[in-house]
Amino acid sequence: MIPLLAGASAIALFVLLLVTTTAPAVAVAGLVGLLLAAVAIAARWRWLATVAACVFLIGYATALWVESGPVGIVPALGFGLLLFFLLEAVDLACRVRGATVDGGVVRSVLGRWIALATGTFGAATLAMALATFFAGAVPAAASPLLAAAGALGSVWVLAAVIRRAV
């Protein structure tokens, strides 16, 4: 059941690539990513799933570059979450190899994923609302300083999370 979740994530990533642009190079990258993901899921190789995620990411970046349009927050968040779900499902499949996994485990994983997706979309919506509100109030010269402060704060939060995990 868990490999099906990983496969569904890989297929959704491929479809999102095709919806983003019609460039043939992106479609080829998506097919390569899908093939790598299928092998990674079947063989339960984390490293190959990471390679597939990188191929999908390069394909998505290429699609955005080819289209040269504004980046939408919903497709970008969806793409990032699907990458996370693919990698998480392959990792979970590797960790439970040979064990019996019942519906309760799958429901628990799906519940955590839904909570993560909901929280991510909620935080992004709040951030966009705050950014829109403050866009008129902040002078253009201060924008790079605020962006640097935000990036520094993100790195500090990430460092704190990593430090607690160790």
Q: Would you say residue 135 has pLDDT above 80?
A: no
| 101 lies in the same domain as 147 | no
| 84 lies in the same domain as 16 | yes
Q: What is the DSSP letter of 138?
A: S
| 43 lies in the same domain as 75 | yes
Give pTM, 2 decimals.
0.74
| 28 lies in the same domain as 86 | yes
Band of pLDDT at residue 166, cut at 50, 70 and 90: low
| 108 lies in the same domain as 159 | no
Higher pLDDT, 34 or 112: 34
| 131 lies in the same domain as 146 | no
| 106 lies in the same domain as 152 | no
- ∠ at Cα 74 (69, 76), nearest 5°? 65
* pLDDT, mean over the chain: 86
Band of pLDDT at residue 102, cut at 50, 70 and 90: confident
Question: Could you report the per-residue pLDDT of 68-79, keeping only the tens digit for each?
Answer: 877 778 888 888
Band of pLDDT at residue 133, cut at 50, 70 and 90: confident
- ∠ at Cα 10 (114, 102), nearest 5°? 55
| 73 lies in the same domain as 57 | yes
Question: Could you report the per-residue pLDDT of 7-29, keeping only the tens digit for each?
Answer: 999 999 999 999 888 888 888 99
Q: Would you say residue 1 has pLDDT above 80?
A: no
Give residue 21's pLDDT: 84
| Helical spans, DSSP H, in 71-140 | 73-95, 103-135
51 within 8 A of 36, measured Cβ to Cβ: yes
| 36 lies in the same domain as 84 | yes
| 65 lies in the same domain as 108 | yes
Task: Give residue 148's domain range.
Answer: 142-166
How many domains, the chain? 2
Band of pLDDT at residue 39, cut at 50, 70 and 90: very high
| 98 lies in the same domain as 83 | yes
| 15 lies in the same domain as 55 | yes
